[in-house]
Amino acid sequence: MTAMNVVHMRVKPGMEEEFVRLHRDFDLKTMPGGRNFWLVKSGERGFIVIGEWVSMEAMAAARPAMIASLDKLRPILEDLGGGRGVTEPWSGEVALHLG
């Protein structure tokens, strides 16, 4: 069953172009089972990263590669506050898709 991951991040002031560039350089082919990838601007310096996967298992198998990608971003991310750190991740199986 299709799985999705959604991660909210906020970049440090002046780092938006670098954040987008790092994602533009991202190669989905390095993550087997990855179907689609979106980067959504969600406000002043806020972004949401959305990944679509063939299954929860494929997404779980890609976690080391996702963490490696995140490690490149950490220096330009701002702490979200409230003990969340620099990311607020969510994931799960798709319950409904209208397309």
Q: 18-36: per-residue pLDDT in tens? A: 999 999 888 788 888 999 9
Domain count, the chain: 1
Instruction: Tell me if 61 is assigned to some domain.
Output: yes
Integer Cα distance of 80 and 46 in angstroms: 10
Which residues form the domain of 74? Answer: 3-10+19-91
In angstroms, the CA 21 to CA 28 distance is 15
Residue 55, pLDDT > 90, answer: yes
* Residue 96 lies inside a defined structural domain of this protein: no
71: in domain:
yes
Residue 34 located in a structural domain:
yes
CATH number at residue 36: 3.30.70.100
Give the residues across from 90 on adjacent strands. Answer: 6
Q: Is residue 48 part of a domain?
A: yes
Tell me if 99 is assigned to some domain.
Answer: no
CB contact at 8 A, 55 and 33: yes
How far from each other are the two terminal CA atoms of the chain, in whole angstroms? 16
pTM beyond 0.85, yes or no: yes
